[in-house]
Amino acid sequence: MKEPDFRRPELYLNRQLSLLEFNARVLEQARDPRVPLLERLRFLCISSTNLDEFFEIRVSGLKQAAEMGSTHVGADNRTPQEVLRLVSQRAHRLVEEQYRVLNDVLIPELADEDIRFIRRTRWNATQRTWVREYFEDALLPVLSPLGLDPAHPFPRILNKSLNFIVQLEGKDAFGRNSGLAIVQAPRSLPRLIRLPAELSQGANDFVFLSSIIHACVSDLFPGMSIKGCYQFRVTRNSDLYVDEEEVDDLLVAMEGELPSRRYGDAVRLEVAANCPPRLSRFLLREFELEEDDLYQVDGPVNLNRLMAVVDGADRPELTYPGFTPGIPAALQRASDMFKLLRERTLLLHHPFQSFAPVIDFIRQAAADPGVLAIKQTLYRTGPDSSIVDALVEAARTGKEVTVVIELRARFDEEANIRLATRLQDAGAHVVYGVVGHKTHAKMVLVVRRENGRLRNYVHLGTGNYHSRTARVYTDYGLMTSDPAIGEDVHRIFLQLTSLGRVARLNKLLESPFTLHERLLSLIDREREHAAAGGDARIIVKLNSLTEPRIIQALYAASHAGVRIDLIVRGMCCLRPGVPGVSDNIRVRSIIGRFLEHTRVMCFHNGGEPLIYLSSADWMERNFFRRVEIAFPLENPELRGQVMDDLEAYLSDDCQAWVLDAEGSYRRAESAGAVSASSQAALLERLAGQA
């Protein structure tokens, strides 16, 4: 039978629309009554933050392509102009749903739990007096209202800042009457203010900063009549551009480019739902936007600010129960990490298992007199990093410390510049990877002298060296003294810091050199096993799946009879369940308490299973424009552990969403009387907490 054409555009879902569908699944968590109430509010905030970044990066890129007249299309054969139109339609529905969930679901349920947002129309006399005093003491001294006239043009508006357009009537002291003014809310003040307990019904009554400004805006324009005051927010292009081949110092170039992020081209305008059309059109003209870029919202223009309630309301019964991450028994008994790793290889699954052993590994390396060198990649670390402290101490005590810092880690550029400077000041060798390729691999190499010989110790991960995200992202970390893996990591560090040809690696796969082609060959091998009548199975867990050649290979494998399970949290451009093409492919997405971040690839391989863990998603950028690694699990016990984890995800009927051939997601149907949650099962098994 002739093989179908797997390149047909209708076989591919659009990546941007797929990302919006992921955000819709996040928002659905805010409606799920099985999720604790304050966590539901947190999911609403996360959906807002995700959508901000979507506009700052994705929509801005589409707009640039459309403005340049680009006709470049993706595998789905849609032009940037077509995608922009579809994105606008889906995003408008998503925003409408966000505010419906806030106003109709969460606010009433929070009020039932004595967590209230007090509207200014319901302030009593004592509350009004307090608000007036707050305005005069905290707000009035720092506000600079700007009347619009020929001498006062429309001001520069900071990306995602809170602003108000005020409609005025009357003449001021100089006889001016432009009719309009702009008030910019100070960035230094919180957007939610807790009312004093003596003025409220409970400890968690809040007023919005926007409500206070609305109530007192007339004080900013004495003698003028206020006809309307409407909040608005503009989202700007936040993608940084640095021509790496034209700069001598990437760090200096990045420092120079960062301020432009605040005032990039506008891509979205949010206004209060009651803002008159005339004023909305005025703002659109000022920001050079179209009607499709206007989002009218029934509530605060930045939902993410509600996170202050999640973090500030002392109501632990309305959040997920706490847990203590597990520590494998071998680590509990070991005081010498190096001795333990000479005896066995360890695999940690965060956050179910603690990230502390990784920190301890680097701390011991920094303090151990036998350690000669520490080499590490850093993509995101977070503030006050214990790992960075250990590297600084190691450098100060004379050890050779080499750190490959990815300055271009999106939205962490400024923090990484400070990190690079701190490490350089301590005497560490700091490099910024390879021009044109982000360094996304997660590696630590410790070189130790033992009995007159050098031994390598290694940590490899699927996620960042960031102790905070290690508590909320699921990631694997492998710790080993395997000589072949240690030699591979040594060779990759030489690539990153020096010059030379592609190194031949023993066990690791590396982007942009071997990872893509090796995965294609492994998928094709499963296809051959199936075609020959043998068992063939592929299980893959990723954040995103978009690369066309990989998708075509999966289609061909499915067509030959390979059973394929894909656990893809976010973007997925593959259509499962298409007759004659992807009948044997199932796709599911897990959305729960923790952000699923592990990347796992399992191949049946004729009964000799191959399992790789990786820092890379199956996207074009990860295969061809980043330095990534995939590392094998050769220990049968560790392979079994990962297979048990994957089976938990595949049997999940509580937090799982199933993708159909039309590109729609539906909740997985329960197979029994009791729902199975993969994350709860892993907590119980690895951390002892159901």
Q: How far apart are the first and last CA of the chain?
A: 50
Q: How many CA atoms lie within 13 A of 351 on its CB side?
A: 18
466 is catalytic: no
Cα separation of 196 and 124, whole Å?
Answer: 13
Residue 71: is it exposed, middle or buried by C-beta count within 10 angstroms (0-12/13-18/19+)? Answer: exposed
| SS3 call for 169 | strand
Helices (H), 344-450: 356-367, 386-396, 413-426
Look at residues 263, 328, 324 and name the one whose alpha carbon lies nearest to residue 478: 328
CB atoms within 10 A of CB 175: 6
Contact in structure between 293 and 272 (CB atoms under 8 Å)? no
Catalytic annotation, pick one of 440, 529, 597, 604: 440
Contact in structure between 81 and 290 (CB atoms under 8 Å)? no
Residue 288: is it exposed, middle or buried by C-beta count within 10 angstroms (0-12/13-18/19+)? Answer: exposed
Q: Is the bond preceding residue 276 a cis peptide, omega within 30 degrees?
A: no
Look at residues 146, 161, 395, 418 and name the one whose alpha carbon lies nearest to residue 269: 161
Q: Is the bond preceding residue 351 a cis peptide, omega within 30 degrees?
A: yes
Cα separation of 404 and 626, whole Å?
Answer: 13
Range 102-111, long-range pairs (CB < 8 A, 24+ positions): 102/44, 102/299, 102/303, 102/306, 103/298, 103/299, 105/30, 105/31, 106/30, 106/37, 106/40, 106/41, 106/44, 109/37, 110/37, 110/41, 110/309
At residue 672, φ and ψ (nearest 5 deg) are -155, -170
Contact in structure between 406 and 440 (CB atoms under 8 Å)? yes
| Helix 356-367 and helix 386-396, axial crossing angle in degrees, nearest 10 | 10
Look at residues 261, 207, 568 and name the one whose alpha carbon lies nearest to residue 411: 261
Catalytic residues: 440
